[in-house]
Chains A and B, each alone.
Chain A
């Protein structure tokens, strides 16, 4: 067997002496099993003999091993951290309600429910709270006004939006893969949407925000409708009968240098499908 391997290797290397090579080729003609074996060795040598690919693979494997997805170790976008935070909020609420029902109210005071104590915000909390939760947390009346926030420098990332960028695509029913760029005054966007839910004629809306924390989601800089074209008629079964759509959008926007975020939604739906960022 070892001899057979060495003969195949010498043949593939072109180092088999002439008479032996001819005899080996004659053997190959009449022996399909041997021919298949030689073909297998040839493919193995061709694949595993590429030194550049070796180096590239080694590099990728090292990077992949060391890679930590955004959201691991408490970085923005960690869904389990969000759940933990939500759990803590629920616990505090339950504890406050228990306090309200079981602690005797002072005699002279009318029985008013004590204000639910808000958890002291941790330095990372604003990054991890989605917009809807953050809105619910604000107390509408008799809450002290937030101290004025100094304007964020135009290139500083907005943590709440960064978390959404890292988590995009955000929807399970409309899967998007989007690329956008801002070149001079031209904002261009292209990408793809896979969905079984999207109905022809539904508007897909783009809203653009700057990086200022107070401006999202209430003060968009620009809003427009994205052009949607179906790519093919036949739904690919491998992707759960989803249809594929090509999305494009172009606009001339006169924006100063800075970091901008765009949010894509289907018109009439609250859920954002994709949040991306562009820089000028």
Chain B
């Protein structure tokens, strides 16, 4: 692996703020140019870029990650696939991308890409919640005890914390169900 590529992979592996900032400076403009030329905006590029980094993060977390191409080739390939999938969904599946066009440079990557698309529905729904619900649910999903959550949130009782947790989670679940991508997900 080239030293620069290793630097970027380590920045992702270690969640290193400075290294990740360099990665944005170096590669986001090129990805933005690609997305803009294929019907997207800079905001789409930022989303796709972030999702691609998360895909690589998960791949690296698996522990057996071997970069078989240059880092940018991998990043660009993932962005292209993610954006292609989104274009396809935007167009109501009228647009199709042949399987052999899709980037499959790293083993197990296509599975991670599918997983990423699926999980994005949950993250998008989560981001629409109010700040207090987001905070409460973050601790709940991290398995912090309800008594501890009640204390941190300065609720009057554990019973109220449970009720509030239910309300927040219900909002989350309803938002997921209202997402057009959800029915497609459950049918797969």
Q: How far is the CA of A41 from the CA of B126 in the complex (A)?
A: 13
Q: Chain A's nearest CB lies how many Å from the CB of B34?
A: 6
A5 near B166: Cβ-Cβ < 8 Å: yes
- Scan B122-162; emit 1 where CB is below 8 A from any A CB, else 0: 11001000000000011001110000000000000000001
Asked if B173 CB lies within 8 Å of chain A CBs, one says yes
A44 near B95: Cβ-Cβ < 8 Å: no
Chain A residue, CB-CB nearest to B50: A60
- Scan B164-185; emit 1 where CB is below 8 A from any A CB, else 0: 0010011011001100000000
Residues of A with C-beta under 8 A to B37: 169, 172, 175
B54 near A56: Cβ-Cβ < 8 Å: yes
Chain A residue, CB-CB nearest to B46: A64
Chain B residue, CB-CB nearest to A77: B29
Residues of B with C-beta under 8 A to A186: none
Given A36-B186, A40-B173, verify A238-B73 contact (CB < 8 Å): no
A56 near B95: Cβ-Cβ < 8 Å: no
Asked if B68 CB lies within 8 Å of chain A CBs, one says no
Interface core residue of A36, A56, A190 (most chain B CB under 10 Å): A56
B61 near A238: Cβ-Cβ < 8 Å: no
A60 near B142: Cβ-Cβ < 8 Å: no
A-B contact count (CB 8 A): 136
Given A60-B53, A167-B33, A172-B37, verify A190-B118 contact (CB < 8 Å): no
Residues of A with C-beta under 8 A to B169: 5
Asked if B72 CB lies within 8 Å of chain A CBs, one says yes
Residues of B with C-beta under 8 A to A191: 73
Residues of A with C-beta under 8 A to B95: 237-238
Count of chain A residues with a beta carbon within 8 Å of a chain B beta carbon: 53
B101 near A57: Cβ-Cβ < 8 Å: no
- Binding stretch for chain B, among A46-54, A85-93, A116-124: A46-54
Q: How far is the CA of A54 from the CA of B25 in the complex (A)?
A: 22
Q: Chain A's nearest CB lies how many Å from the CB of B6?
A: 13
A49 near B142: Cβ-Cβ < 8 Å: yes
Asked if A234 CB lies within 8 Å of chain B CBs, one says yes
Given A49-B141, A54-B138, A64-B50, verify A1-B170 contact (CB < 8 Å): yes
Asked if B24 CB lies within 8 Å of chain A CBs, one says yes
A67 near B100: Cβ-Cβ < 8 Å: no
Our pick among A48, A62, A239 for the contact of B84 (Cβ within 8 Å) is A239
B21 near A63: Cβ-Cβ < 8 Å: yes
B42 near A236: Cβ-Cβ < 8 Å: no
Chain A residue, CB-CB nearest to B169: A5
B142 near A63: Cβ-Cβ < 8 Å: no
Given A40-B173, A43-B118, A59-B17, verify A70-B25 contact (CB < 8 Å): yes
Q: How far is the CA of A203 from the CA of B24 in the complex (A)?
A: 33
Asked if B20 CB lies within 8 Å of chain A CBs, one says yes
Q: How far is the CA of A49 from the CA of B122 in the complex (A)?
A: 11
Asked if B8 CB lies within 8 Å of chain A CBs, one says no
Asked if B41 CB lies within 8 Å of chain A CBs, one says no
Q: How far is the CA of A59 from the CA of B17 in the complex (A)?
A: 7
Which 6 interchain pairs have the tightest Cβ spacing? Answer: A49-B141, A2-B166, A179-B70, A47-B119, A47-B122, A48-B141
21 contacts between A and B (CB under 8 A): A5-B170, A39-B186, A40-B173, A41-B173, A43-B118, A47-B119, A52-B15, A54-B138, A57-B50, A59-B20, A60-B20, A63-B24, A67-B21, A166-B29, A168-B33, A177-B72, A232-B100, A232-B101, A234-B101, A236-B97, A238-B96
Residues on A lying within 8 angstroms of B by beta carbon are 1-2, 5-6, 36, 39-41, 43-45, 47-49, 51-57, 59-64, 67, 69-71, 77, 166-169, 172, 175, 177, 179, 181, 190-192, 231-232, 234, 236-240, 244
